[in-house]
Structure 1
Amino acid sequence: MQQAANEQQNLEDFWLVVVYLCFSLLSIFGAGLCGLLTVLLKKYNVFHANFREILANVILALGINNVLQFGRVVLVLYEWYYEKPIIQIKNFSNECLEFSIIPTFICAIITISGIILATERLYATLNFAKYEYEDITWILKKFFALMWTFMGFTIIWHICEFLAKDSNGSYYSCMLVQIVQNPLKSSWHIVITGLCQLVFLVVFLTVYKVNKEKQIVYIKYHYNNLSSRFQLGENIKATRLLLPKTFLLLITLVISFGHTYKLNQWFKLSRNPYEIDVIHNIILWQEISLLFFPLYSVIMPLIFILKCTVFMNRTRCLFKEMVYKVKGNNGRQKKPSGIKEAFFDDLDACWEDAMHYS
């Protein structure tokens, strides 16, 4: 009996290692893609400057969340290495720090940026004839700088609070404390963010439909009005990229909250919830939820890069140059084959993108 229990625990420890390995790879890859997309949005004038500034901060928040969540794995490895108690069944500490798959301040950045982005898209739709010449990036930069400064102090405060906290509970004990709590209490910020994403999705769908209808009218009756037609084309293209981003984030938030609620009910309905096998299984499935947002942070930037010809071409050229530099000999720099041709392809892509053909 004891041997069977040990084998079961070892098996679950093995699957925990698999989960943490997948999580680490997805987090690193997702953070890299978010960083790449942020640089592309800042560097290339593919969309309106206001749109790029807002979206870049949303992508940056997702990348930072990946880095912060990676700290979980570091904490677990620290506890494993020093052989601290993995789970304490009795005397759960009420002094545990909150371990959320997406922290409250990251949800705040995503939600506030989403409100600004939805407002920007609505204004660009209603004032499409003049919006091309309206640049308020200097205001947006100051606003986001203040917001990131505040969030930075929040992160530092949480880190200092964690280091100064004298808690008897291990990481897994704290996770179990959160599972036992009411999901609406422990995941309220995820619920609010999800509801906001639902509203944003409706707004973006409406904006997309209105711009498509206006584009048809302008092509038919005002074909020579190039500025308005191009702004309508940009509105359609930008909103078309926001739809999958918002929808996937909404699905991720719904799955995340549903997963938390299911684990809470599993614990409550178990005949002996404090049995070690039950706790190990609940902890294992709780850690599986770590994969949701890193997976989203990989898929979402890929959608933007693959659907935007200029971003795709610039990414391809960037990797070609990086590979050539790695293979370079004695510091001699030659242009790798295909880079010069890619330059002209990039010019064509920029022109087509400006014309909104793709």
Structure 2
Amino acid sequence: MQQRPLGRTGREVSAIGLGTWQLGADWGDVSESDARAVLEASADRGVTLFDTADVYGDGRSESIIGAFLAERRGHDIVVATKMGRRLEQEPENYTPENFRAWTERSRRNLGVETLDLVQLHCPPTAVIEDDATYDALDALVAGGAIAAYGVSVETSAQALAAISRPNVTNVQIILNPFRLKPLDEVLPAAEAAGVAIFARVPLASGLLSGKYTSSTTFAENDHRSYNRHGEAFDRGETFSGVDYETGLDAAAELAAALPSDVPLPAATLAWIASLPGVTSVIPGARNVSQAQSNADAAALLAGEGSGFDLAAFDAVVRDVYDRRLREAIHPLW
């Protein structure tokens, strides 16, 4: 597993990380034993980045990670959590007092004195552009509550605003074959500034798993049922904002371009991780098999095994996006 610099922190994280939204809520039920098994399988495969948030299962994801890492002495895993969605996403709620309360709660959940990395959880644009936001975050670093901070964003414009801040360690943004706008400006800007990029929703909420069909159904408490049109939060978080049937067709075309022994999810994760400026890709996993397969995609980066051609797949990704998705997706995020 490749390890890459985490911005200017002096630490490294794996090219393939683990997103843990699934271990909290909004993806159907995942038992605590299954969640711990996912963490163990990922760590055993060389994954050194766990991405979580204080609202994933109202702290359940953080607590499970904290308990797991407490038993895995000497680990080199970076835990990147997020804050800012425990209240309405109004600029007036992003105060130093709330920042302190949120980070204190995450420190308890994770069982640590200092949080490795805290990211603002897709805050309003006004918060990202406000000097006071970064003054408050700098104060948390100075006080030892957090070691570093970043911003998770919805749009490329928000990403560019965060990258321009001198102490931002990372920006987390949706990036996958259905969401190519970050390639235009965000990745070059981040690379030039020494800011890490975490590519989230890399498999477009499973659309790029190659397993879904028109008849696939999802649990009532799964956001792929209740947020397809942005009913609960930004619709770009669900299937990357792509129309479900359009996404199925695009995924089928991408899969058809691959060698028979290269699954679409592995090719997708390797392709994202290969992009200049990307530090880590953070797919989620509900079970051990998914966790292992996601981590094993890193082998494609090293050219191991099959005749997978990253450059050829890159050309197909861009062609499919231009023909099927660009007009509907590119202007929005």
TM-score bin, normalised by smaller chain: under 0.3
Q: Tell me which protein shows more helix as a share of its residues.
A: 1
Higher relative contact order (CA 8 A, sep 6+): 1
TM-score when normalising by structure 2: 0.25
Asked which structure has the greater CA Rg, the reply is 1
TM-score when normalising by structure 1: 0.23
Q: Tell me which protein shows more strand as a share of its residues.
A: 2
